[in-house]
Amino acid sequence: MIDLPAPDPKTLSRRAEIAAAMTRIVPDGVIGDDATLTAFDCDALTAYRQKPLLCVLPQTAEQISQVMAYAARENVRIVPRGAGTSLSGGALPLADAILLGMSRMTRILEIDYENRCVVVQPGVTNASVTRAVQANGFYYAPDPSSQIACTIGGNVAENSGGIHCLKYGLTTQNLMGVELVLLGGERIRLGGKHAGDGGLDLLSVVCGSEGLLGVVTEATLRILPRAPVTRTLLIAFPTVRAAGETVAAIIASGVIPAALEFMDRRCIEAVEAFCAPNYPAGAEAILLAEIDGMPAEVADDAQRIADIATGCGATEIRNCEDEAERARAWLGRKAAFGAMGRLEPDMLCMDGTIPRKRLPEMLDRISGMSDHYGLVCCNVFHAGDGNLHPLIVFDCMKDGALEKAEAFGADILKLCVEMGGVLTGEHGVGVEKKALMGEMFSDIDLAQQEKLKCAFDGAGLLNPGKVFPILHACVELGHMHVRDGRLPFPNLPRL
């Protein structure tokens, strides 16, 4: 089970005072009644719930700046939130914190085709960026499965990826600049439309920082022209191991598909019942390979992939001939998470990354863990870059089921690290994985990361209780920030 910072009784007792101050800043955007706050008490990691102190829904960067200045001055915690699609508990509220929601900041501020970029507010959904530019032959490459709902601010916070991240990169490779509001209300700009930047690369620090360093109020995103030709292959295999070996062989050959996705039999069957994408019957695993580029390049790469798959034992290779067939094939992949509801009412979606050559071994080990814990685990993931998403399904109403699912998930992530991988590929650490950070980082590693956190947020008010397994006061780490004559972390002992 997770642990969050204990609520500050003094802050809780000041709820009406804080609500009045927030109403002066955002007159039409403060939610304080318990019934309505229930809508914000969790994110997509639905095993854990916690109502916030208040929810504030600003519409401008200036309002956010004023909220942050108040929080710093009055020692009030802040939890930033996008659409709440986080799968690691990153946007989980705190009982004594203002939940700062970006859902009303939904404007696309500028489309600049000459510089191939779009400037958006943080509440713009991922899919909306592509919709805004597709008529002119452009698109935004990162495409999480939740792209119709997830927002750019959240994508920046978690460094989100998606199906096409194999060839085109995660958010960090497609983020050109941000406006960031710091604790205290200061607004800074990092990066922009220009190539490169002077000084330290703080833009890369902010991307993936999970709301611990500041609040993004504007993002400049790289858009790409559509490739002349796009082709999708649907490849069926008699064993999971054969599919894993094919993935490693494709990448080793030098072919880099735009996307290379994996689904196992349990997942295929659930998806087929859910949205009928017409996947090959009886397959133990399938790969979806998408190739894009110039016609000759696409034809050559598709043939090389088909030859490799045949050599690894593929039983069927289907060329999706037209756009309708391609869309149906990808519909099934995008619907995989939702389809799990046909198996059990609850699910934990894990997120770890391993070296591609170890995929066959990893899938065998996960199968053994599934038998050990007596829980169904469906495998669907970004196979091309080794980013696993094992879906552990269970019924939390059964005694001990959640605890078993959590232990199963922890074992998968520990194995990822053991195999030379990492704890998260795109979902973030949040609260879900923070207890496992010691599996990957030494105490010295973590202390250095916490020093960076202290440089931005010496009072520890931004999204506390996330990422770091143990909360250290900045004074313990050699960074003591004094504001208005008060030391941060008054509840922690001084060393």
The fraction of the chain above a pLDDT of 90, given in percent, is 86
What is the predicted pLDDT for the residue at 471? Answer: 65
SS (H, E, C) 190-202: EECCCCCCCCCCH
Distance CA(141)–CA(162), nearest Å, equals 9
- Reference 141, options 84, 219, 226, 205; nearest CA is 226
**Using an 8 Å Cβ cutoff, are 246 and 235 in contact?**
yes
pLDDT, the chain, mean: 92
Which pLDDT tens digit goes with each residue over 251-297? 999 999 999 999 999 999 999 999 999 999 999 999 999 999 999 99
Which pLDDT tens digit goes with each residue over 389-415? 999 999 999 999 999 999 999 999 999
**Using an 8 Å Cβ cutoff, are 207 and 159 in contact?**
yes
Distance of CA 314 to the CA centre of its chain: 32
pLDDT beyond 90 at 1 = no
What is the predicted pLDDT for the residue at 444? Answer: 96
Q: 349 forms bridges with which residues in the sheet?
A: 391
SS3 at position 338: helix
Cα dihedral across residues 160, 254, 361, 264: positive or negative: positive
C-beta atoms surrounding 102 within 10 Å = 25
Task: State the pLDDT confidence band at 68, using cuts at 50, 70 and 90.
Answer: very high
Task: State the pLDDT confidence band at 491, using cuts at 50, 70 and 90.
Answer: very low
What is the predicted pLDDT for the residue at 235? Answer: 98
Whether this model's pTM surpasses 0.85: yes
C-beta atoms surrounding 403 within 10 Å = 12
SS3 at position 309: helix
Cα dihedral across residues 413, 418, 419, 420: positive or negative: positive
What the block records as the tokens of 14 is 């000041």
Which pLDDT tens digit goes with each residue over 431-486? 999 999 999 999 999 999 999 999 999 999 999 999 999 867 776 776 544 444 44
Rounded average pLDDT over 119-148? 96
Residue appearing with tokens 């002119």: 136
The fraction of the chain above a pLDDT of 70, given in percent, is 96
**Using an 8 Å Cβ cutoff, are 347 and 394 in contact?**
yes
**Using an 8 Å Cβ cutoff, are 487 and 475 in contact?**
yes
What is the predicted pLDDT for the residue at 6? Answer: 86
Q: What is the largest CA-CA distance in the chain?
A: 71
Which residues lie closer than 8 Å to 264 by C-beta, 6 or more apart? 240, 284, 285, 363, 378, 379, 380
What is the predicted pLDDT for the residue at 442? Answer: 95
What is the predicted pLDDT for the residue at 45? Answer: 77
Distance CA(377)–CA(361), nearest Å, equals 16
Q: Which domains does the chain have, with CATH numbers?
A: 9-101 (3.30.43.10), 108-225 (3.30.465.10), 229-337 (3.30.70.3450), 347-426 (3.30.70.2740), 441-495 (no CATH)
DSSP code of 343?
Answer: T
Rounded average pLDDT over 82-95? 94
Cβ-in-10-Å burial (0-12, 13-18, 19+) of 300 comes to: middle
What is the predicted pLDDT for the residue at 194? Answer: 83
Which pLDDT tens digit goes with each residue over 199-208? 889 999 999 9
What is the predicted pLDDT for the residue at 494? Answer: 36
Rounded average pLDDT over 227-247? 95
3-state helix, strand, coil in the chain (%, to 5): 40, 20, 40
pLDDT beyond 50 at 495 = no
